[in-house]
A and B are shown apart, each in its own frame.
Chain A
Amino acid sequence: GAVVSQHPSWVICKSGTSVKIECRSLDFQATTMFWYRQFPKQSLMLMATSNEGSKATYEQGVEKDKFLINHASLTLSTLTVTSAHPEDSSFYICSASTFSGMRSYNEQFFGPGTRLTVL
């Protein structure tokens, strides 16, 4: 299957710093990338959807000025958590999607996730 990588896999930072997370599709071109967040014992919550070359679409309640998404190429999307605070500590997972004409949906391939801890 398609492979998606994320970097870093975990990060610990001080409150107030910014953290950038990279999501790469390694063996396919992703038309769309998704960013999710998962708090302990909670479901994955979609934060935003990004298409290459255009602005990301953020879900209700997600601050676009705090969570900056850049999708500059068909294989790379980045999420920057600006001025991170302890409440931003979470498991951030990206997924990448490529249209498959035979399917009625765009299958998503998930990255391994990035665990962010803000002290």
Chain B
Amino acid sequence: RKEVEQDPGPFNVPEGATVAFNCTYSNSASQSFFWYRQDCRKEPKLLMSVYSSGNEDGRFTAQLNRASQYISLLIRDSKLSDSATYLCVVNTNSGAGSYQLTFGKGTKLSVIP
């Protein structure tokens, strides 16, 4: 089983639509969770952290369900500039105080005019 699994998409949505991405992770000892955004041929950039209580940043809402090992990202009122690949990322303690990020393959979003 892959450590971090995501639906690869692509998700093609019209401007203004609401879109949701899901992610599951296999390591129950994982400690922190993130959504990154990666544009074509660019490095990943942190979009937001994900907390158990759920958190919101403008049009973006992230949820974490530790019991189900499930993470979600909701984007409301999609903009053309939201077109990118969204990476689900899990941080796990790899021992001796060091942490390791494990990336999902990403879900590609295309927002269409």
- Alpha-carbon distance between A106 and B99 when the two chains are bound, in angstroms: 7
Interface residues of B (CB under 8 A from A): 4, 8, 31-32, 41-45, 87, 91, 98-106
Inter-subunit contact B103/A43 (CB<8 Å): yes
CB<8 Å pairs between A and B, sample of 24 = A41-B105, A42-B105, A43-B4, A43-B87, A43-B103, A43-B104, A44-B44, A44-B87, A44-B103, A45-B103, A49-B98, A91-B41, A104-B32, A105-B32, A106-B98, A106-B99, A110-B43, A110-B45, A111-B43, A112-B42, A112-B43, A113-B41, A113-B42, A113-B43
Contacts known (A49-B100, A110-B45); A105 close to B31, Cβ less than 8 A: yes
| Cβ–Cβ < 8 Å partners of B102 in chain A | 46
Q: How far is the CB of A96 from chain B (nearest CB, A)?
A: 12
A75 on interface, CB distance cutoff 8 Å = no
Is the beta-carbon distance between A108 and B31 smaller than 8 angstroms?
Answer: no
Interface residues of A in 63-112 (CB under 8 A from B): 91, 93, 104-106, 108, 110-112
What 7 A-B pairs are tightest by C-beta distance, nearest first? Answer: A110-B43, A43-B105, A44-B103, A43-B103, A105-B99, A105-B91, A113-B43
* Count of chain A to chain B residue pairs whose CB atoms are closer than 8 Å in the complex: 42
Q: Which residue of A lies closest to B100 (CB)?
A: A46
| A115 interface contact, C-beta 8 A | yes
Residue among A32, A105, A112 with max Cβ neighbours from chain B (10 Å): A105
Are A115 and B41 in contact (CB-based, < 8 A)? yes
For the complex, what is the distance from the CA of A34 to the CA of B87, rounded to whole Å? 18
Complex Cα distance, B92 from A119, in Å, reads 37
> What is the distance, in angstroms, from B103's C-beta to the closest C-beta of chain A?
4
Complex alpha-carbon distance, A98 and B45, angstroms: 17
- Find out whether the CB atom of B105 lies under 8 angstroms from the CB atom of A108: no
Determine which of B8, B44, B91 lies in contact with A110 in the assembled complex, contact meaning CB atoms within 8 Å. B44
